């Protein structure tokens, strides 16, 4: 309780990040000033965007300065509060950073409604991965019943939610994942087919076989050659949602997309987005997600690593595709 353990970013990554980029550090816990809360981190979320935050001068947010705690969101317990609206014992979501006992202004905290779901639900099916899939499919993708939907990284945190949301809304869904275990997981989510990209010599041909009538909506978490292959199968008026580009984040050389002509020929639309732009509508998404979770139609698998020291390991796992489900680190019970 008197020590805040932190993991500091000490070296910019080249390629896939891992423990070599971080250093362990401890400082005294800082008592909260007026308007602040002292927290105990319970779960940290491991997300692809972290790689761009670690690099200098790239990404959509300012780079993390060397020597500072790694940036990251998660769920925490309030230990002490001097912020209006928060009391000891409340569970909150926040950008906690990789540290065990952060002290954070109350205006940056969101109190969790545990009537909607457990703490694990709030890092899982009610968390930002699920909210991202919700707005990506609906607002950016213009999802409609009977759409033919393709989802890449379909066994990941966002992908598994996109597969299920589209299935619940009456779409035919095909998922792309790496390996037999992940493909079995995706099929279990209700996908009509699951493509193992690691087993394909011709991914475009595999997509054509699984999506014989083409694609109305492609939800892309990967970028690179996978995006290129999907573009070959767009139907008229197709929508391509650019949610992530995990294959390119650590690539030595960025892949050049070749099939953009297919987008024009299909009179299609391709658009990226950031979930943070929807913060005023998070409650809308979570109300829908909580209802689907309660009736059993929406689930999310968590891939849990134990202990703060596992966070750098988890980051490497994420970019090697070694996780099945939403990757999180449990820091405390």
Cα angle at 292 between 287 and 297, to 5 degrees? Answer: 165
Mean residue pLDDT across the chain: 94
Beta partners for residue 215, in sequence order? 234
Tens digits of residue pLDDT in 44-102: 999 888 988 898 765 566 889 999 999 999 999 999 999 999 999 999 999 999 999 99
The whole-number pLDDT of residue 325 equals 86
Give CATH 3.40.50.720 domain extents, the chain. Answer: 128-276
Where is pLDDT greater, at 252 or 259?
A: 259
- What is the mean predicted confidence (pLDDT) over 276-298? 94
CATH 3.90.180.10 fits 3-124+300-330, yes or no: yes
Give CATH 3.90.180.10 domain extents, the chain. Answer: 3-124+300-330
CA dist 201 and 3 (Å) reads 52
Tens digits of residue pLDDT in 114-133: 999 999 999 989 999 999 99
CATH 3.40.50.10320 fits 128-276, yes or no: no
Statement: residue 1 has pLDDT above 80: no
- Cβ-contact 148, 211 below 8 angstroms: yes
When pLDDT is cut at 50, 70 and 90, the band that residue 246 belongs to is confident
Tokens of 172: 């035919």
When pLDDT is cut at 50, 70 and 90, the band that residue 234 belongs to is very high
From 322, 323, 326, 257, select the one nearest 298 (Cα to Cα).
326
The whole-number pLDDT of residue 253 equals 79
The whole-number pLDDT of residue 254 equals 81
The answer to whether the pTM exceeds 0.95 is no
């Amino acid at each position: 309780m008197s020590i805040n353990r932190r993991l500091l970013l000490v070296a910019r990554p080249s390629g896939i990040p891992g423990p070599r980029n971080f250093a362990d550090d401890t400082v005294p816990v800082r008592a909260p000033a007026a308007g602040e809360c002292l927290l105990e981190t319970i779960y940290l979320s491991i997300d692809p965007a972290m790689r761009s935050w670690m690099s200098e001068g790239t990404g959509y947010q300012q780079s993390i300065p060397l020597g500072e705690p790694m940036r990251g969101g998660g769920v925490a317990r309030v230990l002490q509060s001097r912020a209006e609206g928060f009391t000891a014992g409340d569970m909150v979501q926040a950008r906690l950073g990789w540290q065990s006992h952060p002290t954070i202004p109350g205006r940056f905290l969101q109190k969790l409604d545990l009537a909607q779901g457990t703490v694990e639900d709030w890092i899982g099916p009610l968390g930002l991965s699920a909210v991202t899939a919700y707005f990506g499919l609906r607002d950016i993708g213009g999802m409609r019943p009977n759409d033919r939907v393709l989802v890449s990284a379909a066994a990941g945190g966002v992908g598994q939610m996109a597969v299920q949301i589209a299935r619940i809304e009456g779409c035919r869904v095909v998922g792309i994942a790496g390996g037999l275990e992940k493909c079995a997981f995706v099929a279990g989510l209700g996908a009509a087919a699951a493509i193992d990209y690691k087993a394909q010599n011709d991914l475009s041909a595999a997509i054509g076989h699984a999506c014989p009538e083409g694609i109305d909506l492609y939800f892309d978490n990967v970028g690179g050659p996978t995006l290129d292959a999907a573009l070959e199968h767009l139907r008229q008026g197709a929508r391509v949602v650019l949610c992530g580009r995990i294959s390119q984040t650590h690539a030595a050389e960025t892949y050049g997309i070749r099939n953009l002509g297919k987008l024009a020929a299909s009179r299609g639309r391709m658009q990226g987005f950031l979930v943070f732009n929807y913060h005023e509508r998070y409650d809308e998404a979570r109300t829908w997600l909580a209802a689907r979770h309660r009736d059993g139609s929406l689930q999310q698998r968590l891939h849990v690593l134990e202990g703060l020291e596992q966070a750098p390991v988890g980051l490497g796992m994420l970019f090697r595709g070694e996780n099945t489900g939403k990757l999180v680190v449990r820091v405390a019970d």
